[in-house]
Amino acid sequence: MDVTNQTAVTEFIFLGFPGSSSLQLSLFVVFLTVYLLSLMGNTLIIFLILMDSTLQTPMYIFLGNLSFLEIWYTTATVPKLLATCITSVVTIPVEGCIAQYYFFFSLGATECILLAVMAYDRHVAVCRPLHYSLLMSVQICLRFSAGSWIGGFIAPLLPTILISQLNFCGPQKINHFFCDSDPIFKLSCSDTFLVEALGYTCSSVVILSSFLLTMSSYGNIVVTIMKLSSREARKKTFSTCASHLTVVTIYYGTIIFAYVRPPAKYNFTIGKVVSVFYCVITPLVNPLIYTLRNKDVKKAFQKFLAQKRFLSNGNKGDLFLK
């Protein structure tokens, strides 16, 4: 498209979810509540892992990384979502939009890789328990964690660079509550075929490869569990993986629906609704599942509350003597 005589757009306007003022206020209250609970829940998990030495094992180090990631993942999008509910016009500079795109997809890719690594950790613990300390030492765990972050932030780098080279001449309204890929492409007056194809390929490779690795690990886990002679042993072994499997199912189910499909099939209304699940709901589901279903985390939390009550009763000196 010829953009010579067209005015370049310097900022975009988020449309968010349309509706009456009462509906907007209700959405604001719901989204704000979920966002604050998500921040508090994930922060609590990180705090417990740092404070309780019994939780400083590979499984919980990965969980701490996941909680830290979820804090930033939801913070990358939800503040703008909240603003669209209470403000008539919510804008973002083009450069800020591209930065939001990069950090959102970097954190999303990191989560995909991290979930696959966590599945491998459970696979080793269940299928090769005698070799667990060798195959998943704290040092190896930290390397896996660092590799997840590095790989996640490299994955969307090239598509982001190509997006930064696009021209935007109007309209400037983004039919979304954050800078998702398809809404950005729709606003460009440049040829977006290359960046769309590259973005679709990158997202599909990262999502599907990590999903298949995760499912492969859990497939092996299920086979191993079925071979256990004791019913109680099967139940106990599966319970250690059930919480992670629940998180995996919810997260991958929504992002595969949203991103593993041809760009031409994108529906803005459905896209916004689905985005709420992996931008708002999933970051809250993580701490809820891991605190309600995990005995070690619940025990650490109860221990923390007991110590807090002990200190509040003025027994600080006795605590240190013990």
292 or 185: which leads in pLDDT? 185
Residue 137 has pLDDT above 50, yes or no: yes
DSSP assignments along 248-292, one per residue: HHHHHHHHHHHHSS-GGG--HHHHHHHHHIIIIIHHHHHHHHHHH
Region 134-151 average pLDDT? 94
Report the alpha-carbon distance of residue 214 to residue 208 in Å, rounded. Answer: 10
Region 58-82 average pLDDT? 94
Residue 65 has pLDDT above 90, yes or no: yes
- pLDDT tens-digit profile of 252-262? 988 998 888 76
How confident is the model at residue 142, as a pLDDT? 94
| Nearest one of 300, 244, 301 to 126, comparing CA atoms | 244
Report residue 85 CA to chain centroid gap: 23
Residue 61 has pLDDT above 80, yes or no: yes
Report residue 288 CA to chain centroid gap: 14
Residue 316 has pLDDT above 70, yes or no: no
pTM: 0.89
Report the alpha-carbon distance of residue 103 to residue 300 in Å, rounded. Answer: 32
Residue 256: CA count within 13 A, CB half-sphere: 12
Region 221-225 average pLDDT? 86
Dihedral sign for Cα atoms in the order 27, 29, 31, 32: positive
Least confident span in 81-95, 190-204, 239-253, 267-281: 239-253
Indicate the pLDDT class of residue 320, thresholds 50, 70 and 90.
very low
The residue with tokens 């403000």 is 87
- pLDDT tens-digit profile of 81-101? 999 999 989 999 999 999 999
Residue 24 has pLDDT above 80, yes or no: yes
Residue 266 has pLDDT above 70, yes or no: no
Whole-angstrom CA distances from 95 to 82, 100, 156 are 21, 9, 16
Per-domain boundaries in the chain = 11-293
Report residue 305 CA to chain centroid gap: 28
Indicate the pLDDT class of residue 319, thresholds 50, 70 and 90.
very low
| Contact by Cβ (8 Å): 17, 27 | yes
Task: Please tell me the class of the 11-293 domain.
Answer: mainly alpha
Region 232-236 average pLDDT? 72
Report the alpha-carbon distance of residue 306 to residue 298 in Å, rounded. Answer: 12
How confident is the model at residue 1, as a pLDDT? 47
Residue 244 has pLDDT above 80, yes or no: no
How confident is the model at residue 305, as a pLDDT? 81
Indicate the pLDDT class of residue 263, thresholds 50, 70 and 90.
low
Report the alpha-carbon distance of residue 92 to residue 102 in Å, rounded. Answer: 14
Tokens found for residue 103: 């950090």
